[in-house]
Structure 1
Amino acid sequence: MARIARWDRELGGPLDRVRAWTNMLFVDHGILRLIYPNRGRVSKELWRSSQPSPGQVAWFAKAGGKTIVNLRGGREHGSWPLERDACRRHGIVLKDLVLRSREAPDRETLLGLRRFFEDLEYPALVHCKSGADRAGLFAALFRIVREGASVAEARRELGPRYGHFRHAKTGILDAFLDTYEREGESQGLSFEAWVRDVYDPEALTRSFRPSLWSTLMADRLLRRE
């Protein structure tokens, strides 16, 4: 809560900005994202990436972007006020949607996705911290719900190309898509009908068994959220 109170406020003078940049680069691992933003184009409407720096927000605005969707939730790093300030300066709408990378997706959130997608102004960019897990899930669900893609097509958004670990704790996102493919898509159920009438997040959580070594790699070495 102290970290949120520190960063979920307006930036003041130059010293505030220096502190925010320092935190973003060295505490929130932003120095790595300046080198490799893990950016990719999902469709004509949607881009995905890791946490953008102010310069990357400016790039997106120059490319015609209209909306950025932040999946990170908490306001615990200097990345947040810098992103918010950059979006204001460049006329980008900044929206929040909370997704978890190590939990079965919430039913209420899933059922609200179609409306959420409809309300976005495009082109949009979605990001989490690293651009691997939550951004991949969002992109996969965007393809299924908004574009009508199959699970096989959408599953590519959760892959090694973006640094996603299927066998770590983050693999519960793959297990979620696999379960929909098996219980819903193969039975002719729409995504929303399956989520509403069949999906059991507690059962999915109980059945999923992550690999210890993949989890150590993702959580301890790469410091994923």
Structure 2
Amino acid sequence: MIKLFYIKKRVIFYPLSIILIFIICFILYYGYNLYLNNNFHVVIPEKIYRSAQPTPNDLNKYMKQYHIKSIINLRGQQIGSDWYDDEVSFAKMYHINHFNVALDADKVPSLNTLHYLIYLIENAPRPLLLHCRAGADRTGLASALSIILNGNSSLDDLEDQASWQYAALSPTTIGYQVLKNYLDWLSENHKTNSKANFLVWDRSLKELKSYKGWFFT
């Protein structure tokens, strides 16, 4: 009986231990990325970087270490907000190009907004920094688009940028919704992912459908 008790205890204890370890690792991973590292990551080395809302100190560090020449703010123009005014002042002081694109983290953008974002990613002076508030949903979309526009990207590469790895956990995250439209178009037209096909899709868009889901890669 005693031996059986210990066997049952082990059967219960080991799975719980594994789950607990997973939860702890998950918390540590997000704690580091979101709070200690400001969700800062390299998208394309020496060309494109991503982060959560940067402070002036963050911007100073990124400018010195990565030679940032452009900032694409995905939260839209918000004159009077401290974070926005500080960011614009910093950009002016150090002659960094500053662009605003108003995206909603949980809704598909208008076609004009999507076209403008694609234009900026292709034409803004580099290296450039993409950011929203948390560096997850809106920044995930912009980063995925950057990967596509850079060429030679796999579907896994672009899905990674809009995935849980960067805290894009909402079932209505904008990255999944926009990319699902593109992926469905590829499937329906028997095409493979490429910069050329992506630009054809972009030019042919009549509307963006809304979806629920996320990338767990």
1:176-215 correspondence to structure 2 within 5 Å: 176-184=178-186, 187-188=190-191, 190-197=197-204, 200-201=207-208, 204-205=209-210, 208-209=211-212
The 1:33/1:153 distance shift into structure 2, 3 A limit, reads closer
SS of residue in 1 equivalent to 2:44: coil
Q: Does residue 134 in structure 1 map to residue 138 in structure 2?
A: yes
The 1:109/1:177 distance shift into structure 2, 3 A limit, reads same
Q: Percent of pairs identical after alignment?
A: 25
Separation in 2, partners of 1:113, 1:83: 19
Q: Does residue 38 in structure 1 map to residue 42 in structure 2?
A: no
Query: Partner of 2:125 in structure 1?
Result: 121
Query: Partner of 1:54 in structure 2?
Result: 56
Separation in 2, partners of 1:162, 1:101: 14
Structure 1 residue runs of 4+, over 6 Å off?
none
Give structure 1 stretches of 5+ with no counterpart: 1-31, 212-225
Counterpart of 1:95 (choices 94, 99, 109) is 99
Q: Would you say the 8 A contact 2:52–2:133 is kept in 1?
A: yes
1:106-117 correspondence to structure 2 within 5 Å: 106-117=110-121
Query: What is the RMSD of the two structures over their aligned residues, measured on CA atoms?
Result: 2.6
Counterpart code for 2:43: V
Counterpart code for 1:101: A
Q: Of the two, which has the highest radius of gyration?
A: 2
Q: Would you say the 8 A contact 1:71–1:98 is kept in 2?
A: yes
The 1:88/1:184 distance shift into structure 2, 3 A limit, reads same
Displacement after TM superposition at 1:82 (Å): 1.1
Counterpart of 1:68 (choices 62, 67, 71) is 71
| Cα deviation 1:111-143 (Å, max 9, x = unaligned) | 344432232111111100010110110000111
- The count of residues paired between Structure 1 and Structure 2 equals 174
Q: Would you say the 8 A contact 2:77–2:102 is kept in 1?
A: no
SS of residue in 1 equivalent to 2:49: strand
Displacement after TM superposition at 1:210 (Å): 6.6
Deviates more, 1:178-187 or 1:62-71: 178-187
Deviates more, 1:55-64 or 1:102-111: 102-111
Q: Would you say the 8 A contact 1:117–1:146 is kept in 2?
A: no
Displacement after TM superposition at 1:209 (Å): 4.3
Q: Would you say the 8 A contact 1:48–1:125 is kept in 2?
A: yes
Query: Partner of 2:12 in structure 1?
Result: none
The 1:200/1:115 distance shift into structure 2, 3 A limit, reads closer
Counterpart code for 1:81: D
When normalised by structure 1's length, the TM-score is: 0.68
Counterpart code for 2:202: V
